[in-house]
Amino acid sequence: MPDLTLHGGPESADTQEVLRLEGVGKLYNPGTPLQTQVLHDINLRLGRGELTALIGPSGSGKSTLLNLLGLLDTPSAGELYLLGQPTGNLDDRMRTQLRNQALGFVFQFHHLIAAFSVLENVLMPLMIGRGKPTAADLELARSLLADVGLEGFGDHKPTQISGGQQQRVAIARALMLRPALLLADEPTGNLDTRTAEKVFELFRHFNRSFGCAVLVVTHDPRLAAGCDRSIELVDGRIVSDQANKG
């Protein structure tokens, strides 16, 4: 059985590379009239401290690629390495364990649980994995809420705060387990321009403070330009991968 223990901190040489894809492809409905090749020979590396935008037109394969990166789906070809761990032969339990250890997710829709308080929503990933939070866990959750500008909102229900505030809660929740890689799928798609800019500033803040890699799928060219790097996907192929100026 593979060892899924994560070793070292941001400074460790063996964990500088968070994610690597080698020749990854995705084929749906193989051997049928509906066979569709969505991704072709994807080679990609993400390192700690990188803030990267994934851009491309609708239907380019961005969602499929994000599902693979999040270990929510498996490649039809090639290999995906997460923190040096090859994932192709992992069973569902091991994939779930590695996903929970290494990844955080922020979506266009925040998916907060209305019946729970803001603080409980932030604690949810930890509570699912370990049960009742400790005093240190509560302190960390409150600290994350303070980092996203919501100190004092812990007892509120999600329905009592704005959409932008709900998205900030979702970011705090995604960071509760200190992931090595944060995946954000159109995280500002439902927000006005000013609120979207504030949310993006949070990604940059945590990217620099925690040293985590951040990959943001976006249609917003201004948000993409503010990232360190932009990867463009067209018809299931990476057609551009370059550092942004600035």
* More confident site: 111 or 157: 157
Over residues 149-181, the pLDDT tens digits come to 899 999 999 999 998 899 889 989 998 888 999
Out of 65-79, 124-138, 198-212, the most confident range is 65-79
Domains of the chain, CATH where assigned: 13-113+179-243 (3.40.50.300)
For residue 38, is pLDDT > 60? yes
Beta strands in the chain (DSSP E): 17-28, 36-47, 51-55, 77-82, 85-86, 103-106, 181-185, 213-217, 229-234, 237-243
User: What is the spatial distance between Cα 211 and Cα 51, in angstroms, rounded to a whole number?
Assistant: 10
Q: DSSP class of residue 110?
A: -
Least confident interval from 2-11, 27-36, 232-241: 2-11
Over residues 200-223, the pLDDT tens digits come to 888 888 888 888 899 999 888 888
Assign 15 a pLDDT band (cuts: 50, 70, 90): very low
Q: What Cα–Cα distance (Å) separates residue 66 from each residue in 15, 20, 146?
A: 21, 13, 29
- List all residues 6 or more positions away from 245 whose beta carbon is below 8 Å from its beta carbon: none
Q: What Cα–Cα distance (Å) separates residue 70 from each residue in 95, 101, 116?
A: 10, 12, 25
